[in-house]
């Protein structure tokens, strides 16, 4: 496997991040803003839609399988 990138990989075009600030901070801010003011059920729906949209964008089933396994690792009973 080993297709999944697990190290920080956020970028904003060719712009180099300044100091400790990274493009990952921009993503986190956008994610929080997307959920602001939503009820819990609506927030879960946004997360589900986001997962499906990004999975479609990635498209590679090997990468998606690896991502699902990584996300599930150490949470609840083993599948």
The string of pLDDT tens digits covering residues 4-39 is 888 877 777 776 656 555 667 888 899 999 999 999
- State the chain's mean pLDDT as an integer: 86
Residues 52 and 7: their CA atoms lie apart, in Å, by: 22
CA distances from 30 to 35, 51, 71 (A): 9, 15, 21
Q: How far apart are CA 26 and CA 12, in angstroms?
A: 9
Grade residue 53 by pLDDT with cuts at 50, 70 and 90. Answer: very high
CA dist., res. 4 & res. 26, Å (int): 22
């Amino acid at each position: 496997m080993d297709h999944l990138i697990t190290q920080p990989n956020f970028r904003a075009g060719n712009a180099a991040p300044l100091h400790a600030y990274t493009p990952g901070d921009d993503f986190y801010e956008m994610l929080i803003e997307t959920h602001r003011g939503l009820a819990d059920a609506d927030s879960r729906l946004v997360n589900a839609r986001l997962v499906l949209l990004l999975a479609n964008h990635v498209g590679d089933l090997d990468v998606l399988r690896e991502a699902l396994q990584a996300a599930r690792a150490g949470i609840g009973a083993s599948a």
